[in-house]
């Protein structure tokens, strides 16, 4: 090889050597940078989605994994000062609400860190963008006043108090009560004032509002007026509650029955009936309830417990039903005698049988005693003011079994006399 060839070969060899050295330095630098960027890792939550460990304070729990070179790190939010977390701690209870106010589900919170070695030298830094988790827990809706099945008169102005509450035991964020709503039987809607949502405002756990409802002046006696309340939180989760008001014209009756039916082959059913009705007395003392075109003056709700028959668990579908009723009775001196009430419509109900070997359903109608089983009904004193109470136990042998029922009856005086 001549001198020129040797010089070309030397330049080529040196070029390849330098290229390899540069490549090695680049790879080395890249690996070092990647290592420094991962000096501290979030072990939990791995998806960086925050959920509260304490719904009342809004604290969250973060778990970290540290490189062996890290002695401690300084954490910084957009609200100084920074705070120190030793590598031996590994777990941090952190309040993101203190770092960023006005947070909502889906919002972002940035947490920055600087890592230091045992000599106090800074060896790396980085940051995490955490996401605020969803509010998937419904609030609670309650109508605290008046009581369900309260008696009202025509044209009366009723103050209805609705309360909405967020759960303090929820495992998700709570965005606070946004607003309360009331819908009357005519579908008129009333709203409370709206409150801006936030996961950081403890003032929003509970909200109360007074709604004003006017009973229609032409409401029929004994009519059940059903109002619906709704509570909506800042994440648009909604819960409902209902209130029944009974229009009273003249006297009013509340009748509660708890019954038990037993039969052969281990047959047993229990149920409860809550009935409310309104009535007047004719000059001859006969209970007058409803009109020819509207032959009812109240309603009742029957609720069934799961029962058993022939080794099967039997449930009613639906488990409760509301039906129209009329009342009857005769006044004698200061008492009502032969007082009872009857259903004014058929009450369809299904039966679901859960047996050891099969499941099946059948259709039918309510076959439990409604009102008094005996012809003499119930005798109760007429109230001069407020109300009177009577109780009675009845037992009767029915087709296919025995019925035992306990009645509690209350008669309320006309409201204008109180």
| Confidence (pLDDT) at 80 | 72
- 10-59 pLDDT, tens per residue? 343 434 343 443 333 333 333 333 335 579 999 999 999 998 887 667 78
Task: Please indicate, yes or no, if residue 161 is contained in any of the structural domains.
Answer: yes
Are 86 and 155 contained in the same domain?
A: no
Are 364 and 278 contained in the same domain?
A: yes
Task: Please indicate, yes or no, if residue 228 is contained in any of the structural domains.
Answer: yes
Task: Please indicate, yes or no, if residue 4 is contained in any of the structural domains.
Answer: no
Are 273 and 261 in contact, with CB atoms under 8 Å apart? no
Pick the more confident residue, 239 or 103: 239
Helix (H) or strand (E) holding 12: helix 3-37
Pick the more confident residue, 32 or 359: 359
Are 318 and 338 contained in the same domain?
A: yes
Task: Please indicate, yes or no, if residue 194 is contained in any of the structural domains.
Answer: yes
Are 282 and 253 in contact, with CB atoms under 8 Å apart? no
Q: Which of 115, 132, 149 is at the close of a domain?
A: 132
What is the CATH classification number for the domain harbouring 165? 2.60.40.650
Q: Tokens at residue 130, please?
A: 């955490």
Task: Please indicate, yes or no, if residue 353 is contained in any of the structural domains.
Answer: yes
Are 336 and 395 contained in the same domain?
A: yes
| Confidence (pLDDT) at 18 | 37
Identify the bridge partners of residue 44 per DSSP, sorted by sequence position: 63
Are 280 and 249 in contact, with CB atoms under 8 Å apart? yes
> What's the CA gap between 144 and 133, in Å, rounded?
32
92, exposed or middle or buried, with CB in 10 Å at 0-12, 13-18, 19+? middle
Q: Is 302 helix (H, G, I), strand (E, B) or coil?
A: strand
Are 95 and 213 contained in the same domain?
A: no
Eight-state DSSP code of residue 13: H
> What's the CA gap between 243 and 372, in Å, rounded?
27
Are 108 and 144 contained in the same domain?
A: no
Task: Please indicate, yes or no, if residue 80 is contained in any of the structural domains.
Answer: yes
Q: Which of 132, 157, 185 is at the close of a domain?
A: 132
**In which domain, by residue range, is 68 found?**
40-132
- 194-241 pLDDT, tens per residue? 988 888 765 568 899 999 999 999 888 888 899 999 999 999 999 999
Query: Starting at the edge strand that comes first in sequence, how are the strands of the sheet with 40-44 ordered?
Result: 40-44, 60-66, 91-94
CA distances 24 to 13, 19, 88, Å, are 16, 8, 35
Are 263 and 388 contained in the same domain?
A: yes
Eight-state DSSP code of residue 167: -
Do β-strands 238-247 and 251-263 pair in parallel, antiparallel, or remain unpaired? Answer: unpaired
| Confidence (pLDDT) at 312 | 92
CA distances 145 to 29, 68, 142, 160, Å, are 72, 63, 9, 6
What is the CATH classification number for the domain harbouring 87? 2.60.40.10
Are 190 and 263 contained in the same domain?
A: no
Task: Please indicate, yes or no, if residue 30 is contained in any of the structural domains.
Answer: no
| Confidence (pLDDT) at 200 | 76
Are 260 and 400 contained in the same domain?
A: yes
Mean pLDDT of the chain: 86
Whats the size of the chain, residue-wise?
418
> How many domains, the chain?
3
Q: Which of 197, 212, 247 is at the close of a domain?
A: 247
Are 67 and 88 contained in the same domain?
A: yes
> What's the CA gap between 250 and 220, in Å, rounded?
12
Mean predicted confidence (pLDDT) in 300-317: 92
Mean predicted confidence (pLDDT) in 309-313: 89
Task: Please indicate, yes or no, if residue 279 is contained in any of the structural domains.
Answer: yes
Are 227 and 326 contained in the same domain?
A: no
Are 402 and 302 contained in the same domain?
A: yes
Q: What is the pTM of this model?
A: 0.71
pLDDT confidence tier of residue 242, bands split at 50, 70 and 90: very high
């Amino acid at each position: 090889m001549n001198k020129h060839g040797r010089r070309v070969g030397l330049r080529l060899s040196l070029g390849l050597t330098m290229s390899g050295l540069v490549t090695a330095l680049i790879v080395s630098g890249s690996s070092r940078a990647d290592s420094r960027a991962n000096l501290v890792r979030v072990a939990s939550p791995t998806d960086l989605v925050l959920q509260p460990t304490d719904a009342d304070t809004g604290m969250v729990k973060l778990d970290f994994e540290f490189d062996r070179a890290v002695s401690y790190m300084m954490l910084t939010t957009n609200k100084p000062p920074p705070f120190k977390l030793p590598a031996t701690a590994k777990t941090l209870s952190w309040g993101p609400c203190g770092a960023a106010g006005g947070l909502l589900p889906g919002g972002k919170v940035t947490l920055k860190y600087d890592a230091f070695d045992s000599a106090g030298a800074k060896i790396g830094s980085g940051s995490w963008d955490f996401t605020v988790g969803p509010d998937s827990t419904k609030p609670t809706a309650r109508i605290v006043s008046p009581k369900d099945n309260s008696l009202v008169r025509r044209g009366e102005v009723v103050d209805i108090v609705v309360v909405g509450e967020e759960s303090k035991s929820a495992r998700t964020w709570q965005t606070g009560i946004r607003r309360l709503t009331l819908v009357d039987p005519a579908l008129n809607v009333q709203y409370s004032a709206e409150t801006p949502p936030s996961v950081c405002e403890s003032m929003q756990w509970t909200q109360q509002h007074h709604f004003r409802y006017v009973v229609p002046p032409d409401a029929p006696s004994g009519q059940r007026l059903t109002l619906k309340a709704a509570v909506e939180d800042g994440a648009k989760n909604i819960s409902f509650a209902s209130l029944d008001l009974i229009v009273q014209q003249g006297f009013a009756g509340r009748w509660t029955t708890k019954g038990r039916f037993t039969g052969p082959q281990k047959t047993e059913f229990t149920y409860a009936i809550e009935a409310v009705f309104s009535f007047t007395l004719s000059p001859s003392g006969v209970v007058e309830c409803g009109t020819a075109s509207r032959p009812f003056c109240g309603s009742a709700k029957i609720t069934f417990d799961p029962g058993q028959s022939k080794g099967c668990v039997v449930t009613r579908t639906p488990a409760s039903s509301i039906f129209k009723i009329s009342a009857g009775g005769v006044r004698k001196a200061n008492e009502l005698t032969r007082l009872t009430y009857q259903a004014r419509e058929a009450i369809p109900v299904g039966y679901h049988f859960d047996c050891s070997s099969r499941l099946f359903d059948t259709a039918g109608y309510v076959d439990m005693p409604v009102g008094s089983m005996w012809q003499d009904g119930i005798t109760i004193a007429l109230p001069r003011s407020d109300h009177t109470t009577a109780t009675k136990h009845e037992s009767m042998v029915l087709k296919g079994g025995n019925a035992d029922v306990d009645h509690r009856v209350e008669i309320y005086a006309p409201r204008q006399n109180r």
